[in-house]
Amino acid sequence: MAQLPLDLPHRPALGRADFLVAPCNAAAVAWLDHWPRWPAPALALSGPPGSGKSHLAQVFAGRAAARFIDPAALTTAAVPALLGNASAAIVDDADRASAEPLLHLYNLLAERRGHLLVAAREAPARWPLTLADLRSRLVAAPAVAVAAPDEALVAALLIKLFADRQLQVGEGVVAYLALQLERSFAAVQRAVAALDAAALAEHRRITVPLAKRVLKIESG
């Protein structure tokens, strides 16, 4: 009888040294490493879901003591309380934030000579911004994109994510998955989670046959 796996949290490594630097994200890493010598009060970080934006934001939060601000909670009246005494803030999915409070947050950080990291799928130039003052500020800010990974980075990411879950997986499995999986961070994360759950439920190691069955990968 298969064991029902408990949905227990694992502890992903989120330190700067644990981030996998590759051509698709090297520019973003370089910009964050350049803080606090940014040429503007804000930096715009864009990329597809699961591309590592959240990891980079965590690294920035640790270095700059930045506050994470939920765009859904961002109102003009709430900005001072949300920011507190911090001189840096992070707004993920910033394209969903209301324009006026986001502008207020930008201006308050600029007054403090602080910095704002905004992250979204696309750069601010492509956001539907109707507030001219906010648009001019964000479009003028440096914008850096995180691209989809190549095969080598997919393999490295698989090794990291399996290690985060304390799973020992053979090189053959990693090589097979790196070739077969969609080249996106989100797809790799989903695959590792699915294989972890299946291996736990069936009390077995993660193998290529298990991967084929669980992920329904067709043989070439």
Q: In this predicted model, what pLDDT tens digit does every residue of 110-159 receive, in sequence order? A: 999 999 999 999 999 999 999 999 999 999 999 999 988 888 889 998 99
Could you report how far apart the first and last alpha carbons of the chain are, in Å? 32
| The pLDDT value given to residue 5 | 45
Cα Rg of the chain (Å, integer): 20
Beta bridge partners of 118: 44, 91
Select from 141, 118, 107, 134 the least CA-distant residue to 66.
118
- Residue 204 near residue 5, CB atoms below 8 Å: no
Residues ≥6 apart with Cβ < 8 Å to 2: 201, 202
- Whether the ω angle into residue 36 lies within 30 degrees of 0, i.e. cis, is yes
> All domains of the chain, ordered by start, with CATH?
25-145 (3.40.50.300), 151-215 (1.10.8)
Kindly write down the DSSP assignment for every residue of 6-34, as one continuous string: ---------SGGGS---TTTHHHHHHHHH
Q: In this predicted model, what pLDDT tens digit does every residue of 34-65 receive, in sequence order? A: 999 999 999 999 998 877 788 889 889 999 99
